[in-house]
Homo-oligomer: A and B are copies of this chain.
Amino acid sequence: MADAAVIDRTSDVARFREAIGDVPVIDDPTLVRLKSRDFYWFSPVLKDALDRKCADLVVSPRDEADIVAVARAAARFRVPITPRGGGTGNYGQAVPLAGGVILDMAGLDAIERIAPGRVRVRAGAILSDIDDALRSDGWELRMHPSTKRTATVGGFVAGGSGGVGSVTYGYLRELGNVLAARVVTVEDEPRILELTGRDALGINHAYGTTGIITALEMPMSRVWPWYDVVVATDDFSSAVRIGHRAALADGIVKKLLTPIAWPVPSYFRHFKNEFPPGRSCLIAMVAEPSLASFKDLVAGEGGDISYCAETAEGPGSRPLYECTWNHTTLHALKYDRQITYLQALYPADRLEEAVAEISALFGDELMPHLEFIRFNGRVTCSGLHLIRYTTNERLDEIFAMHEARGIPIANPHVFTLEDGTRHKRADADQLGFKREVDPYGLLNPGKMRSFAPVR
């Protein structure tokens, strides 16, 4: 583990600042504190652990040359760097564990190249800006988080698993979902690496600890006229069953299938008319040509369509995907700060049974929220259930009860990369790669806890 104390003794932020010349910086304490935070407070555990963590300085590079200058100076003066995108992560990805500088990537937001099926963008580009630019050519990104309108592509790839679109394309880590990545190493003489294919996947879900991502090449899909649909159901298991049928229907083009149990829809304060009181529901995004088929399927399974309209993403509009994935949690937290959540992976071959088992086990303590995904080529669900929080011990107990039933947990209440995975360890390739690109261990030291600096 990188020793934060050692770094504090040797790092020299003042000389670092001198060395980076005219690269813009912010040192106003309020602003620095603001940029040192993300949505870690979703978790009461992380809130306790990270609330006082803060950088010394925010650096705002204008281009890749600035980033190289920052990386060189950081290596020389042993200053920790925490790259930051939109700050929408909720595992403390953008919270500096050992001070140093926040590298605010917002200035690198250009769309560099659009080619058939692929787009090359700088890491700081906002996801919805990318989609807006692609739309006229008939393309869009394959997937995005529910925070599409504020999150950056670099932050999504560095810190995310998947999101809206994963019901069709699987998670970001699947081969083909990130085509190439450009990375600046943190060394005395920083190198610029162009990673492609399987190598490019090495930067996914490393929280920016395996090199500073400056550009990404992402695959695109055909843009569709998408429809937001709410299917009201008599009970949660019906919402799951209808979602499951739709997820398995390969002829229906969709981007989102989200079963949610009542009372969760009551937390969506801006969406009162879409969700009938007292009923569970399935939120869906379906491409217009598949809409009639989807409605046929829903009618055949006894669901009632309570809302159906073209997805609106312009200013002032509210796309329904902002009720899904971790936005669901956000809406609930705005009502009740005692609510938190978990992340579970359901087994594909006994999905509906396992969901019913968990619902029955916890009663009101757990409010079910699922996201249909493809995982290793199979349709299954990610569980993002809301939990009425009592103690950390009970939270651990709830997780253990899931795992005992063959439902692995990716714990969102820990701040290290390893503890947040289903396997509780860093990938060997990822560790080896970190050794190459960050030998001093300066990229948010402590985040990848199993890494020991090589020099």
Interface string of A132-164 (1 = CB under 8 A from B): 000000100010000000000000000000000
Q: What's the minimum C-beta distance from A117 to chain B, rounded to whole angstroms?
A: 3
Residues of B within 8 A of A292 (CB): 179, 196-197
Alpha-carbon separation in the docked complex, A85 to B188 (Å): 70
Q: Which of B116, B175, B224, B379 contacts A293 (CB 8 A)?
A: B175
Consensus secondary structure, chain A interface: mixed
Restricting to A208-252, which residues have a CB under 8 Å from any CB of B? 219-222, 224-225, 247-252
Residues of B within 8 A of A259 (CB): none
Residues of B within 8 A of A174 (CB): 249-251
Residues of B within 8 A of A220 (CB): 289
List residues of A whose CB falls within 8 A of some B CB: 116-118, 138, 142, 168-170, 174-177, 179, 196-198, 219-222, 224-225, 247-253, 287-290, 292-297, 300, 349, 374, 376-379
Given A174-B251, A176-B249, A222-B222, output 20 extra A-B contacts at Cβ < 8 Å. Answer: A116-B288, A117-B290, A138-B138, A138-B222, A142-B251, A170-B249, A170-B251, A174-B250, A175-B251, A175-B252, A176-B293, A176-B294, A179-B289, A197-B292, A197-B295, A219-B253, A219-B289, A247-B377, A248-B377, A378-B378
Alpha-carbon separation in the docked complex, A137 to B219 (Å): 20
Q: What residue in chain B is nearest A288 (Cβ atoms)?
A: B117
Q: Which of B138, B222, B248, B287 contacts A376 (CB 8 A)?
A: B248
Q: What's the minimum C-beta distance from A379 to chain B, rounded to whole angstroms?
A: 6
Residue among A222, A247, A297, A379 with the highest chain B CB neighbour number at 10 A: A222
Q: Which of B196, B198, B287, B374 contacts A250 (CB 8 A)?
A: B374
Q: What residue in chain B is nearest A119 (Cβ atoms)?
A: B289
